[in-house]
């Protein structure tokens, strides 16, 4: 379907969940992957798992809000694998509560991890990719940034911001052959959704036309498409991976 011929791919927040699924799918399609996460131990285990499957993978711990660490992350990919073909800005957290109860720290921290983190990752990868004259950046937003979720003024704001960032960066990077796109997942089966009460999950299922919750691999397959030459004429777009919910 697509082959990165050993070129490098970085996925932030990829020790588990959607990020790990993205790194795994990219590795299975020939990319050499950098597993990166703020959780260094889990990143090491995830990279070891991919190596055990016969793939090329290294772990580089990184807090996406740390400018120097994000630069070092991209440099590590280029030094280890010779290039950076794909950068996936995926790391994320939630600190949900209604606005009335939300602290400024909860707002700033969520915006910092998602939006500033994606901006730092896009800028750092973009600098190398523009020299290479090729590359694809994939930013993980959320349907929450499209429709606004109750209790997520911080998260929805950050995820909507990622769309503006993606489109502006896509315009700036196009002349260098670098594409920038975003994915808006709906509810996906990860630790985040496993923590939901069953009745909330049931109500959610009723609102999904395709009648199931998404799997991390559903998002990973969209990231593979946007990261590969199969999407060579696509930039500045948003793909919803939400089973038709909130279409």
Ligand X SMILES: NC(=O)c1ccc[n+]([C@@H]2O[C@H](COP(=O)([O-])OP(=O)(O)OC[C@H]3O[C@@H](n4cnc5c(N)ncnc54)[C@H](O)[C@@H]3O)[C@@H](O)[C@H]2O)c1
Nearest distance from residue 160's CB to ligand X, in Å? 12
**Read out DSSP for 63-80?**
-TT-HHHHHHHHHHHHHH
**Interaction between residue 140 and ligand X (CB under 6 A):** yes
CB 73 within 8 A of CB 80: no
**Interaction between residue 147 and ligand X (CB under 6 A):** no
Sign of CA dihedral 43, 48, 51, 52: negative
Using the rule CB under 6 A, which residue among 8, 121, 187, 227 binds ligand X? Answer: 187
| Residue closer to ligand X, measured from CB, 193 or 246 | 193
Using the rule CB under 6 A, which residue among 100, 191, 194, 195 binds ligand X? Answer: 191
Give 190's DSSP letter: S
Nearest distance from residue 136's CB to ligand X, in Å? 18
Q: Among the candidate windows 26-34, 52-60, 188-196, 229-237, which touches ligand X by CB under 6 A? A: 188-196
**Read out DSSP for 102-171?**
--HHHHHHHHIIIIIHHHHHHHHHHHHHHHHT-EEEEEE--THHHH--TT-HHHHHHHHHHHHHHHHHHH
Sign of CA dihedral 14, 192, 224, 177: negative
x/- contact string, 70-99, with ligand X (CB under 6 A)?
--------------------xxxx------
**Interaction between residue 12 and ligand X (CB under 6 A):** yes
Task: Point out which residues bind ligand X (CB under 6 A).
Answer: 12-13, 15-19, 37-39, 62-65, 90-93, 113, 140, 142, 185, 187-188, 190-193
């Amino acid at each position: 379907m697509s082959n990165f011929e050993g070129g490098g791919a970085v996925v932030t927040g990829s020790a588990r969940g959607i990020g790990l699924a993205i790194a795994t799918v990219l590795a299975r399609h020939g990319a050499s992957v950098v597993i990166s996460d703020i959780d260094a131990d889990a990143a090491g285990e995830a990279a070891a798992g991919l190596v055990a499957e016969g793939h090329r993978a290294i772990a580089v711990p990184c807090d996406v809000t740390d400018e120097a660490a994000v630069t070092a992350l991209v440099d590590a990919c280029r030094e280890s694998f010779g290039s950076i073909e794909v950068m996936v800005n995926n790391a994320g957290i939630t600190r949900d509560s209604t606005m009335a109860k939300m602290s400024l720290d909860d707002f700033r921290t969520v915006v910092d991890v998602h939006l500033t983190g994606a901006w730092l990752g896009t800028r750092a990868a973009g600098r190398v990719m523009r020299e290479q004259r090729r590359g694809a950046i994939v930013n993980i937003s959320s349907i929450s940034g499209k429709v606004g979720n109750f209790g997520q003024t911080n998260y929805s704001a950050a995820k909507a911001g990622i769309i503006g960032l993606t489109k502006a960066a896509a315009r700036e990077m196009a002349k260098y052959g670098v594409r920038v796109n975003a994915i808006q997942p709906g509810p996906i089966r990860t630790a985040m959704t496993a923590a939901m009460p069953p009745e909330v999950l049931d109500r959610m299922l009723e609102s999904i036309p395709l009648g199931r919750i998404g799997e991390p691999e559903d998002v990973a397959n969209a990231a593979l498409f946007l990261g590969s030459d199969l999407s060579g004429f696509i930039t500045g777009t948003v793909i919803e991976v939400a089973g038709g919910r909130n279409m």
